[in-house]
Amino acid sequence: MKYALTVTAALVALAVISLDSGVNARLLSAPYTIPEFTHRNPDDWINSRPLARGDLEGKVVLIDFWTFGCVNCYKSFPWLKSIENKYEQREFAVLGVHTPEFDHEKDRRKVADKVKEFGIEHAVMIDNDFSYWKALDNRYWPSFYLIDKTGMVRAVYVGEMREGGDQANRVEAQIEALLSELG
């Protein structure tokens, strides 16, 4: 009976860590390699040619899952721009993945208009078929996947990011730590 209570308590604690930190439960066991990008057609990319995982090797990468109907995604863009500026002289990159929630968000022209409207300058992969969303087992907009210099997913954060906010500060501290690691 004591063993069963200990296991139950551990599972409850694990769920709390997962929910409170915004970390995908898959990450609580170990880091994993980022999947290859699922879109190779140039029309599926904005601000970039089609990228491969190897193009980002040696960089710390923050992948931002967003959709243009998501207000919390929009509210996170100023923070994303601020960290891009903060780390522009370092081995750091942001990669946007636009995965639509609704059919009208699949229109590339509308996505490109939003990219322009919000001044997004980093590469954006259009993931209309949810293939990259599924490859990372993502579930939320916005979600942020922090990748180390070797291509390993080291953390996942869910929800709006605001400059100076607790979660944003945790992400930035982790970016600093990953930038300091040898690649």
CB atoms under 10 Å from CB of 96, counted, come to: 25
Interval 143-163 mean pLDDT: 96
The one-letter amino acid code at 159 reads G
pLDDT value at 121 more than 70 = yes
- Work out the percent of the chain whose per-residue pLDDT is above 70: 83
Looking at residue 34, the DSSP 8-state letter turns out to be P
- How far is the C-alpha of 175 from the C-alpha of 158, rounded, in Å? 16
pLDDT in tens, 60-99: 999 999 999 999 999 999 999 999 999 999 999 999 999 9
- How far is the C-alpha of 114 from the C-alpha of 145, rounded, in Å? 22
Please state the φ and ψ torsions of residue 65, each to the nearest 5 degrees.
-85, 125
Name the CATH superfamily housing domain 24-180: Glutaredoxin (3.40.30.10)
Parallel, antiparallel or unpaired: strands 152-158 and 32-33 = antiparallel
25 vs 163, higher pLDDT: 163
Interval 117-132 mean pLDDT: 98
pLDDT of residue 26: 53
Closest CA to 99 of 74, 122, 66: 66
Closest CA to 139 of 25, 12, 34, 53: 25
25 in helix, strand or coil? helix
28 vs 140, higher pLDDT: 140
Band of residue 182 on the pLDDT scale cut at 50, 70, 90:
confident
44 in helix, strand or coil? helix
- How far is the C-alpha of 98 from the C-alpha of 132, rounded, in Å? 10
- How far is the C-alpha of 149 from the C-alpha of 183, rounded, in Å? 5
pLDDT of residue 36: 98
- How far is the C-alpha of 113 from the C-alpha of 160, rounded, in Å? 21
Name the residue ranges covered by the structural domains of the chain.
24-180
Q: Which whole-number Å values give the CA distances from 7 to 11, 14, 20, in the listed order?
A: 6, 10, 20
- How far is the C-alpha of 140 from the C-alpha of 119, rounded, in Å? 23
How high does pLDDT run on average in the chain?
Answer: 88
